[in-house]
Amino acid sequence: MLLFIAANAAAEEGMFLFTNPPKKAVADRFGFEMTDAWLQRVQKSSIRFPNGSASFVSPEGLVLTNHHVGASQIQELSTKENDLLANGFCAKTREEELPCKNTELLVLQSIEDVTGRVKDHVGLSVALFKRRLELEKAGVLPEETSPTTSSEVAEKARRAVIAAIEKESLDTTGLKSNVVTLYQGGQYHLYRYKVYTDVRLVFAPEQQAASFGGDPDNFEYPRYCLDCAFFRVYENGKPASTPDHLGWARENVKDGEPVFVSGHPGRTNREYIYDHLCFQRDFVLPRTMQRLYRLESLYSVWAERSEENRRRVKNELDYIKNSRKVRLGQLAGLQDPVLIGPKFDPGDLNSFRSTKDAEGEWKTEVIPGNPDTKRIYTILESWREFYDDYMLFEGGDAFNSKTFQIARTLVRLARESEKPNAERLREFQDANLETLKSRLFSDAPIYEDLEILKLTDSLSLLLTFRKDVIPAGPARKVEGEPNPVHPAGHVMGDTSPIKRATELVKGSKLRDVAERKRLAEGGLKAIEASDDPMIEFALLVDFHSRKLRTRYETDIEEPLKQAYAKLAEARFEKYGDTLYPDATFTLRLSYGAVKGYAEDDGTAVPPWTVLSGLYDRAALHTNQPPFDLTESWVRAREALDPETPFNLVSTNDIIGGNSGSPLLNTNAEVVGLIFDGNLQSLTGDMVYTDIQSRAVSVHAAIILEALRKVYGMERIAEELTGP
């Protein structure tokens, strides 16, 4: 695909590495020189938030992100009495800033290219393995049983060397260290992060103000969302000193002005070959959407039964609705010949052609000389065979419950801890253990009724897919004969989904953090001695789940990585560093311009909206949810400047994960806050166009105006702009 993209790349396409910034393109396009100092400052001001991006906007640790990015944190601070999501939160003094549960903010300190070391180690391991096979065959060495394929060896070796690099780095620098796989395995970079764990909530508007228009307006534009929130990081009980931070623009950004986004785009598939896109379109997306539709209905119906239900499930429901809309947009793009057509047979490395066979049927064939595209096709075919089972068991679709997730983590933690670091599942390796434990021991509320609802539904889903007896493997407590009426007898305990879910959830003590700690500290012994039904259940399904995980990593993930690595290599040879790698939820820079666009019917859409439009829109919908104004905005109306810019669009190339990223001018000053893309941007996953696709930001001006005149947060406005 990239051939096409590279050849026809839209002017402002690209999510660039900070180690390979688009200096020339930006200079050519805007006459702006991105200096190394500018880049350093932006990099060290950029923050990775658990579910998105953020930035430092004052020297005293003040953090700006989206309300929807910080929503989990805000919800976890809510109580039945005070729903901070609904009511918003304003810390009038620093003392009132509320410590969040279980929140880690990461700031990228350095990037090191470790491609050579990873590739050397993998190459050597495979060579050694092949040599041993020869010797075994020759009878010189006795036969060993595992591993059995060089792909397995490669995967293991890569995991081992990455784990070693990360551990060395952590031990040496004390910084959180992650090896990032770029270009589908073409490059490996070591990213070192400073970690902030004392994060406090400073300000959040009411969710209704943050996401005015709700799901109907999601991904739409023009918009009127104050989708922002402020947090502050602390060290040793005091606001952290953050000399690297962004300024705040004193003037409103202009139409056509160059703007930059520094953030963490999550995942793109722009290097996918045509068949891979078809696999996504015809196999993965329809399945994903089935799950999303199902959960959307389940959660919506439950939310309708009471206000308390609605509060409990709101975040999960919003997430599902958002995902559904994104997937729908992606599918629409992939089903549109205008979009996917050019991806077909671009005539170069990623090369297919269509011919008619004897019966007059169209066949797609790989042009000889591109074995890697053929290999990718074959790998995807075998992925089909166990995709559903994988998603149910290892993906957890069959056990949708936080209690189960905790139980599985405890069971695996006990088992993995007994292995050498390099051989553990990735999430249990030393470099990731702290994050894992902070999540495991979070005291965020878990609602018994919602847990039962979700687990009932997902066990019912399991029964639809699996009529046979679950292969129980060497797990403990597999007794009795399966029930012929309910062949998934062991897992279902011979009863109905609702009764099984009820007994598992109600019987479990894992909602108590102390019990989790006791089991985690007790290791395998404590797990085996436990009679917690959810622990027993997690043990029961773990053998099968892990088998699927191994199969996926060995037969799919690793071979795909290798095939794409070869394609990526070939691309490098041809295109050098004009290419940017697919998004990996690590720090990237994108450039663009503030710019309106035209809808299909010719309607001109302006580059930004203004405040008065918010009141007009609410009036048009007779102030009915989700288009209702909050009391605070009704009250403040007279004081506010109706011409204040509210939301704005720009051509920056972004994707999910970029939410909360600052939109910067050439002075590295905040002019906006990325919070969404328009409908036409939803295919950005696969392809970027600058015709209608736009990034949507909260305008810096409305943030100041609202802080001052709606929320009485002058102290923060002053911290942003200086006195």
335 is an interface residue for its own copies by CB under 8 A: yes
Task: Determine how many CB atoms are found less than 10 A away from the CB of residue 31.
Answer: 9
Closest to its own copies by CB, 103 vs 458, is 458
The residue within the footprint of its own copies, chosen from 341, 368, 602, 722 (CB under 8 A), is 341
The residue within the footprint of its own copies, chosen from 146, 237, 362, 601 (CB under 8 A), is 362
601 is an interface residue for its own copies by CB under 8 A: no
Binding-site size for its own copies (CB under 8 A) equals 54
Give the whole-angstrom CA distance, residue 531 versus residue 661. Answer: 46
Least distance CB 283 / its own copies (angstroms): 9
Closest to its own copies by CB, 497 vs 507, is 497
Task: Determine how many CB atoms are found less than 10 A away from the CB of residue 164.
Answer: 17
Q: What angle do CA 196, 202, 203 make, to 5 degrees?
A: 130
| Alpha-carbon dihedral sign for residues 94, 100, 104, 108 | negative
The helix-helix angle for 497-507 and 448-465 (nearest 10°) equals 140
474 is an interface residue for its own copies by CB under 8 A: no
CB within 8 A of 420, min separation 6: which ones? none
Pairing relationship of beta strands 247-248 and 669-677 according to DSSP bridges: parallel
Question: If phi over 0 gives left and psi between -120 and 50 gives alpha, with beta otherwise, what is residue 490?
Answer: alpha
- Cis-peptide, bond into residue 626, ω within 30° of zero: yes
Least distance CB 723 / its own copies (angstroms): 45
Region of 22-30, 304-312, 547-555, 559-567 interacting with its own copies (CB under 8 A): 304-312
Task: Determine how many CB atoms are found less than 10 A away from the CB of residue 364.
Answer: 14
Region of 1-9, 231-239, 305-313, 671-679 interacting with its own copies (CB under 8 A): 305-313
Give the whole-angstrom CA distance, residue 206 versus residue 212. Answer: 10
Binding mask 432-461 for its own copies (x = CB under 8 A): ----------------------------x-
Give the whole-angstrom CA distance, residue 271 versus residue 185. Answer: 12
> Strand, coil or helix: what is 697?
strand
Q: E-strand spans in 212-290?
A: 229-235, 238-239, 247-248, 258-263
Region of 58-66, 303-311, 534-542, 661-669 interacting with its own copies (CB under 8 A): 303-311
357 is an interface residue for its own copies by CB under 8 A: no
The residue within the footprint of its own copies, chosen from 324, 490, 516, 617 (CB under 8 A), is 324
The residue within the footprint of its own copies, chosen from 37, 138, 485, 604 (CB under 8 A), is 485
Query: Which amino acid is present at 439?
Result: R
86 is an interface residue for its own copies by CB under 8 A: no
The helix-helix angle for 430-440 and 402-416 (nearest 10°) equals 150
Rg of the chain, C-alpha, whole Å: 26
| Alpha-carbon dihedral sign for residues 332, 335, 339, 344 | positive
468 is an interface residue for its own copies by CB under 8 A: yes
Closest to its own copies by CB, 460 vs 666, is 460
Closest to its own copies by CB, 214 vs 522, is 214
Which parts of 278-297 interact with its own copies (CB under 8 A)? 281-282, 286, 289-290, 293-294, 296-297
692 is an interface residue for its own copies by CB under 8 A: no
87 is an interface residue for its own copies by CB under 8 A: no
498 is an interface residue for its own copies by CB under 8 A: yes
Report whether 382 contacts 555 (CB < 8 A).
yes
CB within 8 A of 492, min separation 6: which ones? 459, 463, 483, 486, 500
The residue within the footprint of its own copies, chosen from 36, 81, 95, 361 (CB under 8 A), is 361
215 is an interface residue for its own copies by CB under 8 A: yes
Least distance CB 346 / its own copies (angstroms): 12
Give the whole-angstrom CA distance, residue 595 versus residue 588. Answer: 21
626 is an interface residue for its own copies by CB under 8 A: yes
Least distance CB 439 / its own copies (angstroms): 30
Closest to its own copies by CB, 507 vs 523, is 507
Report the interface residues with its own copies, using CB under 8 A: 214-216, 281-282, 286, 289-290, 293-294, 296-297, 300-301, 304-307, 324, 331-332, 335-338, 340-341, 344, 354, 361-362, 364, 460, 463-464, 467-469, 482-487, 494-499, 621-622, 624, 626
